[in-house]
Structures are given as structure tokens and as C-alpha cells.
Amino acid sequence: MRVTFGPNWTLEPPTAASPPPPVAPPAEAFGRPRRSRVREKLGAAGAAIVALLAKLKAVLLLLPKVKILYTAGTALVSVAAYSLLWGWEFAAGFVALIFVHEMGHVVALRREGIKASAPMFIPFMGAVIGARSLGDNALAEARVGLAGPVFGSLAAGIVAIVGVVTNTAFLEALGYVGLLLNLFNLLPVVPLDGGRAMAAMAPWMWFLGFGALVVLDFVAPNAILLIITLFSGYELYRRWERRRNPSPEQTAYYRVSPRHRLLVGAVYIGLIVVLALGMHAVYLHRALT
């Protein structure tokens, strides 16, 4: 707009040729698109994290099944290995008896408040379970050690009795081998179950059990028995050194009341007698037929 001052002043409107006032660029040209890109990247990262957590949750839910598959897989490997000696049917029954034996240890550990893994089978070596300890004291260790032979002896005894009643040679043989397996485990030397029981009774008997293993190595030599003997010798040395120079914790660990020593001894000796009589009965039945 132009204004002319004077005696005859005029006011003229702006012409069409006048340039338009400058227009400020929209705000989207600066900050908003950048913030949108940041939000998009954060959203993508968040979605990836959510997907990863969902997968981890699925894996955690499958862990119990993985443990079952782990036990079943090692059991199948053991069945295949034992089948080379006895055929798959007898091998499957033998592995089943080992499983019952090991589950006795698992049940006892959980009663002591100790988390135990499912059994892992090792061909020609039996099976093992994982646990952070065997109990807070020697009495707990004895209970855990004897639980395996108790469960295993009951299972093998039932199989043997059914075999005798039905006159089934297969079941009699399977029961006999199961009874023998549990009797062998009662040898009073660690890491066998009998050695665990001796922790609460008379640890000097570890030497007696180790001597029996050495004799067996000469009477019936085989690689598996030799491996057990070597492990037993190392464990015997380690434990005896601790008892020679006991710490207060070690002294408290092996402190067991006379009543509990008597109970552990009764179970231990009772198992040996029952297993020996059971094997004798099954063996005689087969010899007479």
C-alpha cells in the first residue's frame, strides 16, 4: 500500500504485482518427521524384544519336556547297548529296573529339600542323577544312598515273584539280575550306595568294601569294575584324609546318634539278607527245572 502526503493526499491499494509476504515453512519440515523416524525404530526394537521374550517363554515351558526327552534318549541308547548282550526285550526291562532304582534316590533327595535332576543313563555304568549335595549330614546321605536299593529291590523282587508264580523264565532272569544289581550297589564303599550308608555307621568299613572290589577285579576282571574300583579308591582317600584332619563342619557332618546308626544298620543288613535270599530262591528254581 502506498500513501501520499500533501494538500491532496491519496491512499492507493496494493497492486497485483506486489510480492506476497513470506510464509514460514511448516513445522513438519524440521522436528516431526525426525521424531517419527525415532519412534519407528524404537517400535521395531520393542517388537523384536517382545518376540524374543515370547520365544524364551516358549523354551522355558518346554524345559520339562526337554528333560524328559533327555532321560528317554539316554535310556534308549542304553537299551541299544545292552541289546548287544541280551536282546532288546531284556535290555528294556533292565533299564526300567535301573530307572526305578535311581528314582529312589531322586525321591529321597527331594524329601531332604534338595533339587535333583532326572536320571541320565550311561551304558554299562547304570545311571546318574545330578544334585548339589547328598544332604546336610551323614544321616541324610545314608537315607539318600539306601533309597535307591530299597526302590530297586522292591521292583526287582516283584518281577522275580511274578516270574516264579507264572513260571516265566524271562521274568525270573530279569528279577535275578535286578536283585544282583542292587546287592552289588550295597558294597560298603563310596561312591556305591553301601558306602553312602557307611557314612552314618562305621566309615572304617569303606576299606572292607574297597578290598572286596579289588578281589572282584581278580576273580571276575572287566573294564567297568576296574573303573569303579579306581573311582572308589580316590573317593576313599579323599574322605579318609578329611576324617584324619577334620574341620568343625566335617565333625558335625558325621555326628549321628546311636539310635539312627542302629536304624541305618538294620536297613542295610536287612537289604543284604533279603537280596541274597531272593537271588538264592530264583536261582534254585531255575536249577530244578
Q: pTM of the entire structure?
A: 0.70
Lowest-confidence region among 49-53, 180-184, 187-191, 275-279: 49-53
Is residue 124 predicted with pLDDT exceeding 50? yes
- Specify the pLDDT at position 49: 54
Is residue 201 predicted with pLDDT exceeding 70? yes
- Specify the pLDDT at position 288: 44
Question: What are the φ/ψ torsions at residue 134 (nearest 5 degrees)?
Answer: -110, 15
- Specify the pLDDT at position 151: 96
Is residue 161 predicted with pLDDT exceeding 90? yes
Is residue 30 predicted with pLDDT exceeding 70? no
Amino acid, res. 259: R
Position with higher pLDDT, 24 vs 129:
129
Query: What value does the mean pLDDT take over residues 156-162?
Result: 95
- Specify the pLDDT at position 34: 52
Highest mean pLDDT among 36-50, 82-96, 108-122, 208-222: 82-96
Position with higher pLDDT, 142 vs 21:
142
Lowest-confidence region among 97-101, 117-121, 174-178: 117-121
Position with higher pLDDT, 174 vs 251:
174
For 237-248, b/e burial (b = at least 16 CB within 10 A) is eebeeeeeeeee
Measured CA to CA, the distance from residue 244 to residue 137 in angstroms comes to 18
The 10s digit of each residue's pLDDT in 219-253 is 877 777 888 888 888 888 888 887 777 788 888 88
The 10s digit of each residue's pLDDT in 65-99 is 556 677 788 888 889 999 988 889 999 999 999 99
- Specify the pLDDT at position 172: 93
For 10-45, b/e burial (b = at least 16 CB within 10 A) is eeeeeeeeeeeeeeeeeeeeeeeeeeeeeeeeeeee
